[in-house]
Amino acid sequence: MTQFDEQYKDAVLKIMNQGFDEFNERTGHTCKVLPGVTFELDQGFPLLTLRKIPIKLFVAEQIWYIMGSKNPEDYVNKFTKIWQDFTEEDGTIPAAYGHRWRHAFGRDQLGLLVKHLTENPGSRHGVVITWDPREDGLGNPNSKKNVPCPYTWTANILGNKLHIHSVVRSNDMMLGCPHDVGGFALLLAILAGKLGVKPGKLTHTISNAHIYDIHFQQAWELVERTNDHPPVSFEAQHDFFDRSEAGDESLVAEITDQLTKQYTPLGPIKGMKIVL
């Protein structure tokens, strides 16, 4: 199995065997939950191959994030409708990750990150924040439809490689986690290409790693699976960041094709529904 397959399968098995049974008031579901689950990934691009995942979806999302838009009609809705459930009546998503990275808090955090690491590659100040403590969480009765799950990430250049550490407050392990890991791996590769370094380690830390009760059967099915899929390789071109900023729609197909040509996953695991 690939490095990510092994770590993911181990995490799912540990949650099912050792997780706390917790009722979640917001969703009305009981989950098996573990705190502080971490993946350390530095061998190939982490695409889950134990079941098929939709590559185009996370590729389009990451390009939309780099654009900095909070309007899904600008780009991402052309490739997936997953953000429609989080869109407000005015057509925007105020907490859209890319919007927070590029336009919130009075700073273009992503643009400044690229500039800062270009000028100061040894810096330890490469921190990007998605969570807005003025609005998000803590029972705010005026919360919008979307509250960021990946709430911060850091970027460091070490050994002529770019390394990212993403911290996620809450991850649906059966549906959200493989998607988020693929997305951050793509972000890492695109930023590395822009900065002229190699992609390095992705560390993905989850504060609340949970499996919903309606996914227990599928979780047991997944941990019984194994394969001999070779590592998937991917390095972004230098212009991928600029093309993402410009909303180049052809980039989705270009990246998706590169990954799909190397991707031979096991069949889908049926019956998994998203819990909103």
Domain count, the chain: 1
Determine, yes or no, domain membership for 118: yes
45 strand-pairing partners:
232
Q: Token pair 């998994």 is at which residue?
A: 272
Determine, yes or no, domain membership for 272: no
In this prediction, residue 85 carries a pLDDT of 87
Q: How confident is the model at residue 44 (pLDDT cuts 50, 70, 90)?
A: very high
| CB distance 117 to 69 below 8 Å | no
pTM score = 0.96
Determine, yes or no, domain membership for 269: no
Determine, yes or no, domain membership for 275: no
Q: What is the pLDDT of residues 67-103, one digit of tens each?
A: 999 999 999 999 998 898 899 999 999 999 999 999 9
Region at 196 (left for phi over 0; alpha for psi -120 to 50; beta for the rest): left
In this prediction, residue 21 carries a pLDDT of 98
Determine, yes or no, domain membership for 267: no
- For residue 125, give the CATH number of its domain: 3.30.572.10
Q: How confident is the model at residue 130 (pLDDT cuts 50, 70, 90)?
A: very high
Q: How many CA atoms lie within 13 A of 52 on its CB side?
A: 10
| CB distance 60 to 82 below 8 Å | no
Tell me what the mean pLDDT of segment 108-134 comes to. Answer: 97
What percentage of the chain has pLDDT greater than the value 90?
94
> Which residues are CB-neighbours of 272 under 8 A, at least 6 positions away?
174, 175, 214, 215, 218
Residue 24 tokens read as 């979640």
Determine, yes or no, domain membership for 188: yes
Determine, yes or no, domain membership for 266: no
Determine, yes or no, domain membership for 126: yes
| The pLDDT of residue 145 is above 80 | no
Residue 244 tokens read as 């993402």
Domain range holding 91? 3-203+212-260
| CB distance 226 to 51 below 8 Å | no
Q: How confident is the model at residue 139 (pLDDT cuts 50, 70, 90)?
A: confident
Tell me what the mean pLDDT of segment 230-256 comes to. Answer: 97
**End-to-end Cα separation, the chain, in angstroms:** 31
